[in-house]
Amino acid sequence: MSATMVAGHLPIETLLAWWLHETDAADTDAVDEHLLRCDACGETLDALVGLADGVRAAFKAGLVGAIASGDFIARLASRGHRVREYRLPCNGGVDCTVAPDDELLVAHLETPLQDVDRLDAVVTLSFAPDVQHRLEDVPFDAQAGEVLWLPKFDLIRNAPAHTAEVTLLSVDADAAHELGRYTFRHQPWPGG
Ligand SMILES: [Zn+2]
């Protein structure tokens, strides 16, 4: 972890780590000091803190990533943050990677959401196929017709080639039924 500046501002990864109390003492001081004088990074932090508690818990849980709103992504991009985006049709897959200067990875998972009351997501990773990570009651915008998925970024950045599968489930009192299944075929950045 290093509080290296990108274009004079704090990388999202650093802000996230600071917010989750994962920065060391030196980085914590550097972030504290930067936030005192930089409104732009303060607003980015507000956007992060504005995410639901469930999202924060998901980030802490490590592997599973988080789900965010379109507003949040648009605000980050409008401030010049480098956001890599992939769009997956329902039951689709994508070859994906992370460039060295990317700050955030966002996948748009297209799915019909009009009749969904509660949405869960189940994640499996090819290097631990027997482990299912389940996110319960994840936030979504029924009108958007898509779920915004943020993989755990610093983990993905350092990951070897692997496949991740995300299954979206509509859950009601009686049962859960599958809305869509999405496959990410990840390759490390060449030479990175
Ligand atoms: Zn700043």
pLDDT digits (tens, 9 = 90+) for 36-94: 999 888 887 776 666 545 455 555 544 445 566 677 677 777 777 788 899 999 999 99
**Same domain for 71 and 56:** no
pLDDT band at residue 159 using 50, 70 and 90 as cut-offs: confident
**Same domain for 174 and 123:** yes
**Residue 79 C-alpha to ligand 1 middle, in angstroms?**
10
**Same domain for 88 and 23:** no
**Same domain for 129 and 107:** yes
Say how many domains are in the chain: 2
**Residue 4 C-alpha to ligand 1 middle, in angstroms?**
11
- Whether 38 maps to a domain, the answer reads yes
**Same domain for 114 and 43:** no
Q: What's the chain's length in residues?
A: 192
Tens-place pLDDT, residues 7-18? 588 887 788 778
Q: Share the mean pLDDT of the chain.
A: 80
Examine the pLDDT at 160 and tell me if it is beyond 70: yes
**Same domain for 177 and 92:** yes
**Residue 43 C-alpha to ligand 1 middle, in angstroms?**
9
**Same domain for 109 and 161:** yes
Tens-place pLDDT, residues 116-129? 999 999 988 887 77
Which residues keep their CB under 5 angstroms from ion ligand 1? 9, 38, 40-41
| Per-residue exposure over 7-31, b if at least 16 CB sit within 10 Å of its own CB, e if not | eebbbbbbbbbbbeeebeeebeebb
pLDDT band at residue 168 using 50, 70 and 90 as cut-offs: very high
Q: What is the pTM of this model?
A: 0.69
- Whether 43 maps to a domain, the answer reads yes
Q: Which CATH number is 171's domain given? A: 2.60.40
- Whether 5 maps to a domain, the answer reads no
Structural domain that includes position 72: 66-186
**Residue 31 C-alpha to ligand 1 middle, in angstroms?**
9
- Whether 191 maps to a domain, the answer reads no
DSSP string, the chain: -----BTTB--HHHHHHHHTT-S-HHHHHHHHHHHHH-HHHHHHHHHHHTS-HHHHHHHHH-TT-EEE-HHHHHHHHHTT--EEEEEE-TT-EEEE---TT--EEEEEEE---TT-SEEEEEEEETTEEEEEEEE-S---BTTTTEEEEE--HHHHHT--SEEEEEEEEEE-SS-EEEEEEEEEEE-PPTT-
| Residue 59: per-residue pLDDT | 52
**Same domain for 108 and 73:** yes
Q: Partners of 165 in the beta sheet?
A: 124, 183
**Same domain for 38 and 24:** yes
